C-alpha cells in the first residue's frame, strides 16, 4: 500500500513543502522551497 502526505511549513522567511511517500521500498522524502511570503 502506498501512502503520501504533504506538510507545509514556514521557516522564516520561506514557505517549505515536505512531501513524504511510503511504499514497499520504504520512505521517500522531498523538500521544496516555495519562496518568501508575498508582501
Give, as one character, the DSSP assignment of residue 24.
T
Percent of the chain with pLDDT over 70: 95
Residue 21 lies in a domain: yes
In this predicted structure, the answer to whether residue 39 has a pLDDT above a threshold of 70 is no
The answer to whether the beta carbons of residues 6 and 27 sit under 8 Å apart is no
Over range 13-26, report the average pLDDT: 96
Confidence bin at 27 (pLDDT 50/70/90): very high
Query: For residue 38, what pLDDT is reported?
Result: 66
Angle at 7 between CA 28 and CA 26, to 5 degrees: 15
Q: Tell me the pTM.
A: 0.74
**How many domains does the structure of the chain reveal?**
1
Residue 38 lies in a domain: no
Residue 15 lies in a domain: yes
Over range 26-38, report the average pLDDT: 91
Name residues whose C-beta falls within 8 Å of residue 30's C-beta, 6 or more positions apart in sequence.
18, 19
Give the range of the structural domain holding residue 11, as residue numbers without chain letter: 3-30
Over range 5-33, report the average pLDDT: 95
Amino acid at each position: 500500500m502506498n501512502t503520501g502526505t504533504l506538510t507545509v511549513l514556514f521557516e522564516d522567511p520561506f514557505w517549505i513543502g515536505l512531501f513524504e511517500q511510503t511504499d514497499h521500498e520504504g520512505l521517500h522524502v522531498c523538500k521544496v522551497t516555495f519562496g518568501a511570503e508575498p508582501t
